């Protein structure tokens, strides 16, 4: 008998602000790929979110195309998932305004990312930086998502999305599905190779701290060989061994080995051997992605065909939710 049970809807988005990192891949994108068979996945390049920080226009356009090609190279399958460019789907900005008007100033002022980014970009603390959790809520709620994959740094924004959805439904009747967080079993939290107390970030001031998805094998090996460890010279997972713990997490994520297996395999070996092994494993994991990216980026017409088709489907789905919300609020359609 055919299984007619409807697949749950997953929504997730990533900003196309510069190159994608190993941390993005192991922490999120690898799971995006794995989820495609189990769920109806809707993925977006969140380029509207990107302009809360000032961008150079030509570079931004390049970043969007590069990110689209990179995600296809990682394994996002346009036959299985909807993968669109956010700014091409006008419903996002429109619902964000309605949600702005149903979100309290106090709620937004408590967002820790706003506080962090205000310190980082003190010369440009704009209104968009303050209200972008409402745009994030619109992204999710437009597609009646059941689940949103979230890392530790996005939990607060998901909670706000849930609160706003419940408030709106309470005022106007049932419009939005209240989404749940989805916490993947295999989401590695990858830290900087030079400062393992901080998350790996493309804005790391030390170029050796961050591995990029499209780095060459030589660049990757050099960065891992320079990775910060400690003076114990023993490969084991323990408190206070942040550098080694981070390398073990990366190695485990790309090989599937547990910490116990890694400790066993490197018993009696020094950090030099371990760093080389981690670097080589990462090189082999990223090699096919880089090769596929090179093919995609040469075919701009194919990339455009993919995102235009997805944009159209995303607009059709999201317009149903937006129109319902607008009618409930009292707009004449």
Share of the chain above pLDDT 90, in %: 79
- 290 and 231 belong to one structural domain: yes
Helices (H), 75-126: 91-100, 105-109, 112-120
- 135 and 44 belong to one structural domain: yes
Q: Is the dihedral of CA 94, 323, 331, 148 positive or negative?
A: negative
Of residues 8, 80, 177, 202, which has the active-site annotation? Answer: 202
The answer to whether residues 200 and 228 touch, using CB atoms and an 8 Å cutoff, is: no
- 315 and 243 belong to one structural domain: no
Cβ atoms within 10 Å of 262's Cβ, excluding its own: 23
- 290 and 312 belong to one structural domain: no
Of residues 30, 199, 241, 275, which has the active-site annotation? Answer: 199
Strands 82-85 and 147-149, bridge-based pairing: unpaired
- 167 and 26 belong to one structural domain: yes
- Look over the chain and give the mean of its residue pLDDT values, rounded to a whole number: 92
* CATH number of the domain residue 49 falls in: 3.40.50.620
- 286 and 316 belong to one structural domain: no
Closest CA to 193 of 231, 245, 236, 237: 245
* 316 labelled catalytic: no
Query: By residue range, what is the domain housing residue 124?
Result: 9-188+301-329
* 223 labelled catalytic: no
Separation between Cα atoms, residue 220 and residue 200, nearest integer Å: 14
Of residues 30, 117, 223, 275, which has the active-site annotation? Answer: 117
- The answer to whether residue 264 sits within a structural domain is yes
Q: Which residue has the tokens 């194919």?
A: 302
* 199 labelled catalytic: yes
Residue 327 Cα distances to 98, 174, 320, 323, 331, angstroms: 12, 12, 11, 6, 5
Task: Summarize pLDDT for 148-185 with one digit per residue, the tens.
Answer: 998 766 788 899 999 999 999 999 999 999 999 998 76
- 38 and 139 belong to one structural domain: yes
Which strands, in side-by-side order, build the sheet including 180-182? 82-85, 40-45, 9-14, 147-149, 180-182
Cβ atoms within 10 Å of 321's Cβ, excluding its own: 19
Length of the chain: 333
How much is the average pLDDT of 15-27?
89
Q: How many domains does the chain have?
A: 2
Task: Summarize pLDDT for 267-316 with one digit per residue, the tens.
Answer: 989 899 999 999 999 999 999 999 999 999 999 999 999 999 999 999 99
What's the pLDDT band for 2 if we cut at 50, 70, 90? Answer: very low
Q: Is 40 helix (H, G, I), strand (E, B) or coil?
A: strand
pLDDT of residue 5: 62
Residue 4 has pLDDT above 70, yes or no: no
């Amino acid at each position: 008998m055919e299984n007619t049970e409807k697949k749950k809807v997953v929504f997730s988005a990533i900003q196309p602000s510069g190159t994608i990192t190993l941390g993005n891949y192991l922490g999120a994108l690898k799971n995006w790929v794995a989820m495609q068979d189990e769920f109806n996945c809707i993925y977006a390049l969140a380029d509207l979110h990107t302009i809360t920080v000032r961008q150079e226009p030509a570079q931004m356009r390049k970043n969007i195309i590069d990110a689209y090609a990179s995600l296809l190279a990682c394994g996002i399958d346009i036959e299985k998932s909807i993968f669109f460019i956010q700014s091409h789907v006008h419903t996002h900005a429109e619902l964000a305004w309605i949600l702005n008007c149903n979100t309290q100033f106090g709620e937004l002022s408590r967002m820790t990312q706003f506080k962090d980014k205000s310190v980082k970009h003190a010369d440009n603390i704009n209104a968009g930086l303050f209200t972008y959790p409402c745009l994030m809520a619109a992204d999710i709620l437009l597609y009646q998502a059941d689940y949103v994959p979230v890392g530790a740094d996005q939990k607060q924004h998901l909670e706000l999305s849930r609160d706003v959805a419940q408030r709106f439904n309470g005022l106007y009747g049932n419009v939005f599905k209240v989404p749940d967080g989805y916490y993947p079993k295999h989401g590695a939290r990858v830290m900087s190779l030079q400062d393992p107390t901080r998350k790996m970030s493309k804005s790391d001031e030390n170029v050796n701290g961050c591995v990029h998805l499209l780095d060459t094998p030589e660049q990757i090996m050099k960065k891992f060989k320079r990775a910060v460890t400690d003076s114990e010279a023993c490969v084991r997972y323990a408190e206070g061994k942040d550098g080694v713990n981070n390398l073990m997490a990366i190695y485990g994520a790309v090989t599937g080995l547990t910490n116990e297996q890694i400790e066993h395999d490197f018993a009696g070996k020094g950090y030099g051997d371990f760093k080389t092994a981690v670097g080589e494993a990462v090189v082999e994991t990223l090699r096919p992605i880089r090769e596929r990216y090179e093919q995609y980026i040469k075919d701009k017409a194919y990339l455009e065909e993919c995102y235009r088709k997805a944009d159209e489907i995303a607009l059709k789905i999201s317009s149903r939710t937006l129109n319902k919300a607008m009618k409930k609020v009292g707009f004449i359609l």
